Amino acid sequence: MKHLLHNPAYKMACDQFDATAEFLNIPETMRERVKAPKRMVTVSLPVRLDSGEVKVFEGHRVQHHLTLGPTKGGLRYHQSVELGEVAALAMWMSWKCALADLPYGGAKGGVTIDPRQHSIGELERVTRRYTSEMIPFIGPQTDVMAPDMGTNEQTMAWMMDTYSHQIGHAVPSIVTGKPVSIGGSLGRKEATGRGVAFLANRAVDMLKLPNDSRVIVQGFGNVGSYAAAGMAKFGARVIGVSDVSGGIFNAKGLDLQALQDHVALNRSIKGFPEGDYISNEELLIQPCEVLIPAAMDRVITAENASKIQCRILAEGANGPTTIEADAILKQRPEIFVIPDILCNSGGVIVSYFEWVQDLQSFFWAETEIFDKLYRILGHTLDKVLKQARKHNIDHRTAALSIGIQKVVDGKTIRGLFP
């Protein structure tokens, strides 16, 4: 898929894959088979705006591999969405699901739209049109979507409704991350952020860092806000957070509840009075024990990787660290990296629980969900650390190598059709 390589995220995902394939010694012919996305669907979405005017949006869905089960992954609404980026995110979903031993291939969807510029009605029409265009390609045993950046429970409810109308009865298992009232799972909304906090806190214990460790979170959306709250629950002190409007810093620790209330009211952390304004770039390089990038990809770069001053880099976002930054981090063994495909996998793990509950129409208690989630995350972290120690490799290569090897093994044993 050389035509996608102009996209920096896709190039990054391919470079990561190539380096890991080299480490794993994967045969050349198998490399292309495992790397290339299986299906890429691009649709145009004509949607009537509130003004009466019709605007055509572009939507994508990339299903990376279908070897181990249905494909799984979020749907992103962002103005920078393009096919290459969606393909990169789909690939990362594949390794993430395989690493956690979920019976899925990776997928990702996206619509090129700035959701903040549109009314609820417009977003509903975009979502319903996108779902309807995708009906031939999705299904509970084919491809299951979930929220990602710019989408939420409401988006999933519209998708489920649109799909169910087409089929003729309610099909909750068509998406995960739905409201609990229509077949969503308890804990799904918090799962990614709480998973990040669980793993970061494990690392705090392993490195024998203080319980009231200082935490900085970039991004205060669904992942960042629950990660911050989760860290605070473990006794840590959240000293800085940010969103697109910039950051807020308070060395004494931020009052997260007050910040949540402020964000609920203003849809942004901008103007929160109990701290100093700080830019996103400055925030990332402040001294702290735990740094959690939980927003866009490629924010830890060649420019700032040597300047970050954390002991633990817990990657809540997908692809936050560039290849160049990774090379610098490899020279900084004092930083314990929890790579994205492990660190933020709590979301898709509980999505898996949601899908299983929907298929069985049998729902679990929240304690059961978090017990199972933490067991899988703890076990996966141990697996990654063991692989890293055994081969003397960095945590990212260790995590990727486990995920990629699983997909290679699946393709090898299934054989080639026809």
Could you list the residues that contact ligand GLU (CB under 6 A)? Answer: 72-74, 146, 148, 176-177, 318, 344, 347-348, 351
CB of 89 to ligand GLU, least distance (A): 7
Instruction: Rank residues 155 and 176 by Cβ distance to ligand GLU and give the closer one.
Output: 176
Q: Identify whether the C-beta of residue 121 lies closer than 8 Å to the C-beta of residue 50.
A: yes
Instruction: Rank residues 47 and 90 by Cβ distance to ligand GLU and give the closer one.
Output: 90
Give the residue nearest to ligand GLU (CB): 74
Q: Identify whether the C-beta of residue 202 lies closer than 8 Å to the C-beta of residue 381.
A: yes
Q: Quick check: helix, strand or coil at residue 65?
A: coil
Cα→Cα distances 418→27, 35, 145, 414, 415, Å: 20, 20, 29, 11, 9
Instruction: Rank residues 247 and 347 by Cβ distance to ligand GLU and give the closer one.
Output: 347
Q: Identify whether the C-beta of residue 126 lies closer than 8 Å to the C-beta of residue 166.
A: no
Q: Quick check: helix, strand or coil at residue 243?
A: strand
Q: Read off the tokens for 287.
A: 């001294």
Separation of alpha carbons 127 and 17, rounded Å = 32
Instruction: Rank residues 209 and 404 by Cβ distance to ligand GLU and give the closer one.
Output: 404
CB of 104 to ligand GLU, least distance (A): 8
Angle at 66 between CA 364 and CA 94, to 5 degrees: 70
Q: Read off the tokens for 297.
A: 């990809």
Angle at 82 between CA 77 and CA 86, to 5 degrees: 75
Q: Torsion angle of alpha carbons 312, 316, 317, 323, nearest 10°?
A: 30
What is the DSSP-derived secondary structure letter of residue 179? -
CB of 349 to ligand GLU, least distance (A): 8
CB of 322 to ligand GLU, least distance (A): 18
Instruction: Rank residues 74 and 240 by Cβ distance to ligand GLU and give the closer one.
Output: 74
CB of 210 to ligand GLU, least distance (A): 30
Q: Identify whether the C-beta of residue 72 lies closer than 8 Å to the C-beta of residue 104.
A: yes
How far, in whole angstroms, is CA 23 from its chain's centroid?
A: 25
Residue type, 69: G
Secondary structure element (H or E) that encloses residue 337, with its range:
strand 336-338
CB of 151 to ligand GLU, least distance (A): 9
Instruction: Rank residues 185 and 387 by Cβ distance to ligand GLU and give the closer one.
Output: 185
Residue type, 16: Q
Q: Is 108 an active-site residue?
A: yes
Separation of alpha carbons 99 and 101, rounded Å = 5
Q: Identify whether the C-beta of residue 407 lies closer than 8 Å to the C-beta of residue 71.
A: no
Q: What does the chain come to in residues?
A: 418
CB of 97 to ligand GLU, least distance (A): 8
Instruction: Rank residues 73 and 105 by Cβ distance to ligand GLU and give the closer one.
Output: 73
* Catalytic residue from among 35, 72, 96, 108: 108
Q: Identify whether the C-beta of residue 312 lies closer than 8 Å to the C-beta of residue 291.
A: yes
Q: Known catalytic residues?
A: 108
